[in-house]
Structure 1
């Protein structure tokens, strides 16, 4: 029972306490790629800790005292391993943790299917209302509101409204197009799906809410940084300002995007990258966090 309590406490820390600290970390906006990695690692940590806590809570004392060997023997992978227990106890002790692990995976499949259907509907609509613009490798839609966005996936598409063409200069347009292509090349929609599925699997959990919000903001910052490699900061910032109010489909990623004001301030007032020691520390913590519950579960 003590092992289960330790693992449950670890899951509470990962799911309720650390997210609020990580969402306010000053280094995150200066290293958005690293911050996204940290959020993904935190979600994995919560699932691993919760699965092992449920396992130790439900499994018989014989298996629990055998640590990881007990878990493997309960699965029938070690013949003659100590601690047999009853069949019903073993089934319950394996089914409940498996359900915790499968829950976010099931939501991931559902979210991916829903997003794919929504993108397909929008692509079918673009065939009717859009005009190809080969010079931009994009589709132009006759709409007054300035907006530039991309539909990721296999049939990826960049969309520009006529309103955006009217207000953006050629250089500004090239900058936001580079932003959108960064989303497509980086497959940022997959990160959105992972955070969305986790938040739906564990509704009300602070980690789910913060991970979804921060992932949406951080991938926009990653795309901003990609665009800044070939365009001036004032060009990208002014283009972001022009398209910030443009509405885009929920399944699309837009240059206006999430947290436009925060991103504008970040683009115009660049900050140095975190110190190397900070970056290495974050990577080490992200890797170690999901492994610590396994070490606790393996102990006698």
Structure 2
């Protein structure tokens, strides 16, 4: 029982106390890719810790180490010795099923979110076939709509969409800057991270980690795409384009340049950011790995 309580406390720490601190981290805006990695690691750590906590709660403290070894043996991660595996009892099945259900909950939502996103994407592609006009010079599809908007549909085939309203208000450099932004989403497969975070939020509604991870991941992915655009085009061109298309909304399953946190991104684009310290990535990897390993050690140490 002590181990179960300790693991539950650790899960609460990862799910409620750490997310606000990570959301306020100053280094995240300088190294958005590392920040996305940190948020993904935090979500994995929470799921693993919650599963271990449930496992030990069902188990009972006096059978923890024996049954945990039995669980590893059943999963093929350890050998049971020369006498072979003992018959699986109802209690053993419960011990195995309880943590598996904790893992299957977000996995089930992930499958559903992937299916919904794919269905929405197919619907948008079918609509673009009817109302879209190819623009080979921009490698995009033009839609006759007055509101300035630029967005992309990732996957295969991918599609970048520009409205007539955007063509009317953007200069060529501004247009190419936002197109580069959208191509960064496609090349980086950012839609997959959107689906992962959405599934986690559906599985654990109300959890601070779910809310912060969704907000911050969406924002960091937009910053990553902004950085890609600024490699080839000026800050002023991208900033002006952000202002012009901020009111445009991307349809479901699409990523739009207006995106998340336009004001935060606009301030970041216009302000010369210091280069991220070279120690950020190693520190994030070590911290994420340590956070994940600690509950495993806590669960296995006698």
TM above 0.5, yes or no, is yes
Q: 1:124 is matched with which residue: 123, 126, 133?
A: 126
Find the aligned partners of 1:281 and 1:117 in 2 and give their Cα distance: 39
Query: TM-score scaled by structure 1?
Result: 0.95
1:24: which partner in 2? 24
Q: What is the CA distance between 1:75 and its match in structure 2?
A: 5.0
Find the aligned partners of 2:9 and 2:67 in 1 and give their Cα distance: 18
SS in 1 for 2:152: strand
2:291: which partner in 1? 289
CA deviation map 1:96-130 (0-9, x unaligned): 10000111111111001000000110111111111
Find the aligned partners of 1:129 and 1:75 in 2 and give their Cα distance: 52
Aligned pairs, how many? 300
Q: Is the 8 A contact 1:62 1:82 kept in 2?
A: no
Q: What is the CA distance between 1:38 and its match in structure 2?
A: 0.2
The gaps in structure 2 that reach 5 residues or longer are none
Q: 1:186 is matched with which residue: 176, 185, 188?
A: 188
What value does the CA root-mean-square deviation take over the aligned residues? 1.9
Structure 2 residue 148 is the aligned partner of structure 1 residue 146: yes
2:65: which partner in 1? 65
Q: 1:243 is matched with which residue: 245, 255, 258?
A: 245
Find the aligned partners of 2:80 and 2:148 in 1 and give their Cα distance: 66
User: Please, which moves more after superposition, 43-52 or 65-74?
Assistant: 65-74
1:8: which partner in 2? 8
The structure 1 segments of at least 4 consecutive aligned residues displaced by more than 2 Å after TM superposition are 60-63, 65-71, 73-86, 273-280
Find the aligned partners of 2:85 and 2:160 in 1 and give their Cα distance: 59
Query: TM-score scaled by structure 2?
Result: 0.94
User: Please, which moves more after superposition, 265-274 or 44-53?
Assistant: 265-274
The gaps in structure 1 that reach 5 residues or longer are none
2:42: which partner in 1? 42
Q: What is the CA distance between 1:70 and its match in structure 2?
A: 4.0
SS in 2 for 1:139: strand
Find the aligned partners of 1:128 and 1:192 in 2 and give their Cα distance: 27
CA deviation map 1:218-274 (0-9, x unaligned): 100000000010111111111111111112102111111111110000000022133
2:80: which partner in 1? 79
Q: Is the 8 A contact 1:67 1:299 kept in 2?
A: no
Q: Is the 8 A contact 2:20 2:212 kept in 1?
A: yes
Q: 1:214 is matched with which residue: 190, 211, 216?
A: 216
Find the aligned partners of 1:236 and 1:97 in 2 and give their Cα distance: 47
Find the aligned partners of 2:130 and 2:93 in 1 and give their Cα distance: 54
CA deviation map 1:152-209 (0-9, x unaligned): 1112100000000000001110100000000000000001011000000111111111
